């Protein structure tokens, strides 16, 4: 009978062991199990929300699918169009570029908290009155960025408005109506009861990246 020599490969549940016949087998500890789901708690529109989510789920999918807040829209999914913009600790961020687990412990505001069909927010009224929307798909993102912008710049010039909205794309209006709406909204907000928005902690937008970067053709270049 021919004697077998060479490499012997033995498979176990935890590992694959390779050794030469006659030599002691040295094994290594099995790798820890891969974490695919995690429980998170976030404050969304003033309400604590706890859920177990996949670690790869984006924040916009969590908002829409787990919470049922479909006012936040999914557009390009590359952080370019701005349709998915929400406020995170008071700062506008692209919710398609964040994982839901990254928002754990943070405060989120979506467009649903801005106003109601019976009582529009002054910013919403201004967009309506100045025809700052047509199909309306991009509008929630514009509204949320405008809300944060007017908190920081309550009396903006037209150029400042264009710069602030440079991270948003609108394929319908031509932008001029939007710029006029924001200018009017600044005056309306100044005489209205302000919507409570959490103040940014730890740097706000800087913590999660500039939402206006890499916007392509936008209000700044089209008006």
pLDDT of residue 35: 84
Number of C-beta neighbours around residue 161 at 10 A: 26
How much of the chain is in helix, strand and coil states, percent to nearest 5? 30, 15, 50
**Long-range pairs, 195-202, Cβ under 8 A, ≥24:** 195/113, 195/114, 195/121, 195/147, 196/46, 197/87, 197/90, 197/109, 197/147, 197/148, 197/151, 198/43, 198/87, 198/89, 198/90, 198/107, 198/109, 199/89, 199/90, 200/89, 200/90, 200/91, 201/89, 202/89
pLDDT of residue 200: 39
Region 42-70: mean pLDDT is 97
Question: Out of 16-30, 34-48, 138-152, which region has the weakest mean confidence (pLDDT)?
Answer: 16-30
pLDDT higher than 60, residue 10: no
pLDDT confidence tier of residue 34, bands split at 50, 70 and 90: confident
Residue 28 located in a structural domain: no
pLDDT higher than 80, residue 203: no
pLDDT higher than 50, residue 1: yes
The domain spanning residue 120 has which CATH number? 3.10.20.30
Residue 140 located in a structural domain: yes
pLDDT higher than 70, residue 116: yes
Residue 3 located in a structural domain: no
Higher pLDDT, 110 or 17: 110
In terms of residue numbers, what domain contains 135?
37-222
Residue 32 located in a structural domain: no
pLDDT of residue 158: 96
pLDDT of residue 25: 57
The number of domains in the chain is 1
pLDDT of residue 24: 59
Alpha helices in 88-157 (DSSP H): 122-129, 139-152
pLDDT of residue 216: 37
Closest residue by Cα to residue 140 from 115, 177, 175, 176:
115
Residue 5 located in a structural domain: no
pLDDT of residue 31: 76
Verdict on whether the full-model pTM lies above 0.85: no
Residue 190 located in a structural domain: yes
Ramachandran bin of 67, using left for φ above 0, alpha for ψ from -120 to 50, beta for the remaining angles: alpha
pLDDT higher than 90, residue 139: yes
Residue 26 located in a structural domain: no
Closest residue by Cα to residue 40 from 49, 32, 31:
49
Residue 95 located in a structural domain: yes
Number of C-beta neighbours around residue 10 at 10 A: 10
Return mean pLDDT, the chain: 82
Region 68-90: mean pLDDT is 97
Question: Out of 14-28, 54-68, 203-217, which region has the weakest mean confidence (pLDDT)?
Answer: 203-217
């Amino acid at each position: 009978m021919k004697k077998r020599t060479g490499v012997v490969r033995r498979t176990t549940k935890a590992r694959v062991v390779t050794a030469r016949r006659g030599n002691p087998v040295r094994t290594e500890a099995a790798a820890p199990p891969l974490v695919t789901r995690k429980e998170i708690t976030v404050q969304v529109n003033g309400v604590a929300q706890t859920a177990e989510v996949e670690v790869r789920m984006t924040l916009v999918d969590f908002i829409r699918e787990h919470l049922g807040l479909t006012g936040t829209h999914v557009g390009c999914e590359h952080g370019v169009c701005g349709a998915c913009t929400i406020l995170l600790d008071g700062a506008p961020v692209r919710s398609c570029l964040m994982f839901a687990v990254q928002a754990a412990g943070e405060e989120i505001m979506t467009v649903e908290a801005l106003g109601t069909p019976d009582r529009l927010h002054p910013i919403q009224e201004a967009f309506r009155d100045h025809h700052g929307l047509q199909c309306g798909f991009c509008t929630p993102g514009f509204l949320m960025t405008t809300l944060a912008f007017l908190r920081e710049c309550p009396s903006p010039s037209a150029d400042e408005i264009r710069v602030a909205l440079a991270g948003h794309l609108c394929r319908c209006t031509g932008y001029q109506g939007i710029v006029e709406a924001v200018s009017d909204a600044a005056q309306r907000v100044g005489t209205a009861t302000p919507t409570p928005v959490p103040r940014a902690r730890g740097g706000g937008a800087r913590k999660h990246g500039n939402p206006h970067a890499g916007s392509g053709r936008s209000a700044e270049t089209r008006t």
